[in-house]
């Protein structure tokens, strides 16, 4: 069992919050003395404060800059598909 305190601001991580939960991509955007402001991309961007002492079942991977760029290109392409206007 891990805690959010192990994560560093500015980085993307693949985590599993609970043993039976799906893998989520998160980015730590702000760190305070006791909390982290985290963007969770599991089902679209969701921004939450997490206590540093909050548990994480598993930290699977710290994404490299190359992998983040690769993910962003796919993610942004999918986001654009939702907002394309119909020309009718």
pLDDT in tens, 7-33: 999 999 999 999 999 999 999 999 999
Q: Torsion-angle region of residue 22: left (phi > 0), alpha (psi -120 to 50) or beta?
A: beta
Give strand ranges (E) for 1-63.
2-3, 12-16, 24-31, 35-40, 46-51, 55-56, 58-62
- Tell me what the mean pLDDT of segment 31-53 comes to: 93
Domain ranges within the chain, ordered by starting residue:
2-83
pTM of the model: 0.82
- Tell me what the mean pLDDT of segment 67-74 comes to: 89
Report the alpha-carbon distance of residue 24 to residue 11 in Å, rounded: 14
**Residue in 50, 39, 41 with CA at minimum distance from that of residue 2:** 50
Q: In this predicted model, what pLDDT tens digit does every residue of 51-65 receive, in sequence order?
A: 999 999 999 999 999
Q: Are 26 and 48 in contact (CB under 8 A)?
A: no
Binned at pLDDT 50, 70 and 90, residue 79 comes out as low
């Amino acid at each position: 069992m891990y805690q959010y305190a192990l994560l560093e601001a500015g980085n993307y991580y693949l985590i599993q919050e609970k043993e039976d939960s799906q893998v989520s991509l998160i980015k730590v955007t702000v760190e305070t003395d006791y909390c982290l402001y985290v963007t969770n991309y599991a089902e679209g961007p969701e921004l939450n404060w997490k206590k540093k002492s909050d548990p994480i079942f598993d930290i699977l991977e710290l994404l490299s800059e190359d992998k983040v760029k690769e993910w962003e290109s796919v993610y942004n392409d999918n986001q654009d598909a939702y907002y394309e206007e119909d020309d009718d």
